[in-house]
Amino acid sequence: MALTKKSAKEYENISIDDLLEQLTEEDIEKLNQELFDPDDSDIPARDRCAYKLDKSPSAKFDRKKLLEHLEKTAKEDKDWPENKPYTGEKRGKVWQPKEQEIKDLDETENDFNDEMWEAVKDNATEEDLVEIAALLGIPSLISQTQYHAAVVGGDKSNIDSTVKGGGFHSVAKHENFKLFDEDPHNNTNVEEALENIKANDPKTTTINLNNITKISEERLILFAEALKTNTKLERLQMSNVRMTDKVGAVLAEALKENNNLIELNVESNFLSGKCILQLVKAINENGTLKELRVINQRAQVLGNQTEMAISKEIEKNKTILAFNIEVAATDARNRIANSLQRNVDESKRVTRISK
């Protein structure tokens, strides 16, 4: 029954509290069922459904026991009787695949008889064989080198240079593999290099320890400590030497005191994001390092907090020109790129003025 304007005015001055006091328990329960929100996760699941039961639970809820009961009931209960039993009757035309006659390879008709094959083997040139292969649809007789020389028009070492774009002129043959020499091993004398750093040898301006994985951790720490007093070394390569955070921490302390090192490479080691941050903070006190490479560490993901801290330290640095690191956060990556570009531009400007 819809309310009219006249009848609605009768309820304007009635208090809602008075109306609720007049409701019985049954009315309140019915009102609660009509107004509940089934999607409200704050309401228990039992109160979000229209089904209500006033009976108290006979026992505690046991999920395992309930599943066992359902499985047992499903096995013991008989299937419902069908109104009309299934007889397996087939109606309509049953599809059957067509029978295909299988021919033996020996019984297939050959386009060439024995006399023609003998003539081909005795008198045909390689060009004729390639043409026959093209007619029979056998592309395996044509190599990539022949295709490039005949169709593309390129010049290959094993193809006649006078024949370019002129068709296929020989049967396909294998191409010899190109053999490349292995990368030479690092023959740096570790003990001699360490003594030169400790002695502050003026001729030792570059030390390359890359890929020497047999250097002990104690020996790497000695290299790092020797940098504190060395004033001649300019480039130190320590890529793939199994450097850990323990060595990295000593190296960071050495960078704070060393004012001559220009390039440091510690790629492909076992440094964590925290250790890399220590190195970046150390080069801010160094003031001379222009290139730092720390990419490809065991910890591939440094974390957003560490990356942002590294980028802020790079923004403070006015001398570094190259910083090799993998950063996932876009903001940190942009900060590092802008800072490096700023330093490069400033370096070019100073060089131009000095000239």
- Is the overall model pTM greater than 0.75, yes or no? no
What class, spelled out in words, does domain 190-354 have in CATH?
alpha beta
**15 has a pLDDT exceeding 90:** no
| pLDDT tens readout for residues 98-119 | 888 776 555 445 555 666 667 6
165 band by pLDDT with thresholds 50, 70 and 90? very low
The two three-digit tokens of residue 49, written as one number: 């459904």
The pLDDT of residue 341 is 96
User: pLDDT value at position 2?
Assistant: 54
Per-residue pLDDT, averaged over 116-140, amounts to 68
DSSP β-bridge partners for residue 291: 263, 322
Spatial separation of the C-alpha atoms in residues 258 and 236, rounded to whole Å: 12
pLDDT of residue 159: 45
pLDDT digit string, tens, across residues 281-334: 999 988 899 999 999 998 778 999 999 999 999 999 999 999 999 999 999 999
- For the stretch 227-272, pLDDT in tens is 999 999 999 999 999 999 999 999 999 999 999 999 999 999 999 9
Q: Spell out the domain ranges in the chain.
A: 123-172, 190-354
